[in-house]
Amino acid sequence: MTIFKKKKIDKKQLKAFQGLLEKEKKELEDKIADLNLKEKDMAIKMPDFTASEDSSIEADEIEELNNLLSLKLVWEGDLARINDALERIKAGTYGICEECGELIEEARLRIEPAAQTCTKCVKKKNTASA
């Protein structure tokens, strides 16, 4: 009979990934704060820009604001995933695939410390949605 050891990521590695995540989190928070300032600036410059027919508002300014907003959405999503990963470090479940319960490959975590699934499951998902 095989006894399955509870899978867990190495403590030293965990510390390293925690450091990475915290650094990324800080950077994202700074970037989002920056974006918020810009957004405020632009909103002052063109109030109700979507409803306005004012031709003095440049189309590329509207586009810039739209880009800004979609970028913010992406970053906020990243930040949420990082916070989630930090929670999992606290809970002791970090590095475990949410789909199959196996350990996520270390190489994958190095590239994407907030990863929630292992490479196999990502591939499965990608082929399923393609």
**DSSP code at position 56:** T
118 belongs to the binding site for Zn ion (CB under 5 A): yes
96 belongs to the binding site for Zn ion (CB under 5 A): no
Least distance (Å) between residue 46 CB and Zn ion: 47
Least distance (Å) between residue 55 CB and Zn ion: 54
* 3 state SS of 7: coil
121 belongs to the binding site for Zn ion (CB under 5 A): yes
Alpha carbon distances (Å) from 42 to 30, 33, 36, 59, 60? 19, 14, 10, 13, 12
Of 17-25, 58-66, 86-94, 121-129: span binding Zn ion (CB under 5 A) = 121-129
112 belongs to the binding site for Zn ion (CB under 5 A): no
99 belongs to the binding site for Zn ion (CB under 5 A): yes
Say how many Å lie between the first and final Cα of the chain, rounded. Answer: 40
By CB under 5 A, name the one of 100, 106, 112, 123 that touches Zn ion: 100
Complex with Zn ion: residue 64 or 98, whichever CB lies closer = 98
Q: How many residues touch Zn ion (CB under 5 A)?
A: 5
Least distance (Å) between residue 103 CB and Zn ion: 9
- Cα dihedral 18, 20, 21, 25 sign: positive
Return the closest-CA partner of residue 14 out of 90, 66, 82, 73. Answer: 90
